[in-house]
């Protein structure tokens, strides 16, 4: 799997990073969530690197402290992992790349 670097948010020695893949997905590198190998924690700011008109195809749980926790498939592809620098306190997951959908119209009530 080939990765395209989209952006990084370094904070407190960590390196949460967002990549696009040649599979039409995103790889999200973030802080490990203890006991949950399919989950990563990322700063809100990392979402600013998502491609225009796209969104992460994963549910984001707001931690209330400036970060989200999201769930994806752990990345085990050796080619992809070789392209990344992952500190021991971080991991990465693959999530769908979805089209951003805007809901228009005024609400009444």
Joined tokens for residue 82: 């070789």
pLDDT value of residue 30: 96
Spatial distance between the Cα atoms of 49 and 8, rounded to a whole number of angstroms: 8
* pLDDT single digits (tens) 39-90: 999 999 999 999 999 999 999 999 999 999 999 999 999 999 999 999 999 9
pLDDT bin (cut points 50, 70, 90) of residue 14 is low
Confidence check: pLDDT of 24 > 70: yes
- Per-residue model confidence (pLDDT) at position 107: 55
- pLDDT above 70 for 108: no
For residue 48, what are the β-bridge partners? none
Quick one: residue 88, left, alpha or beta (phi over 0 = left, psi -120 to 50 = alpha)? Answer: alpha
Contact (CB, 8 A) for 27 and 2:
no
pTM: 0.89
What distance in Å separates the CA atoms of residue 46 and residue 40, rounded to the nearest whole number? 12
Fill in the DSSP letter of residue 78. H
d(CA 17, CA 47) in angstroms, rounded, equals 10
């Amino acid at each position: 799997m080939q990765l395209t670097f989209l952006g990084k948010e370094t904070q407190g020695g960590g390196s949460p990073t967002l990549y696009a893949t040649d599979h039409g997905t995103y790889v999200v590198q973030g802080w490990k969530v203890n006991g949950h190998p399919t989950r990563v924690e990322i700063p809100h700011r990392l979402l600013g690197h998502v491609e225009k008109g796209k969104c992460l195809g994963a549910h984001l749980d707001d931690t209330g402290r400036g970060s989200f926790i999201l769930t994806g498939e752990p990345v085990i592809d050796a080619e992809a992992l070789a392209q990344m620098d992952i500190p021991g306190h971080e991991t990465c997951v693959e999530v769908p790349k979805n089209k951003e959908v805007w809901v228009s119209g005024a609400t009444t009530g």
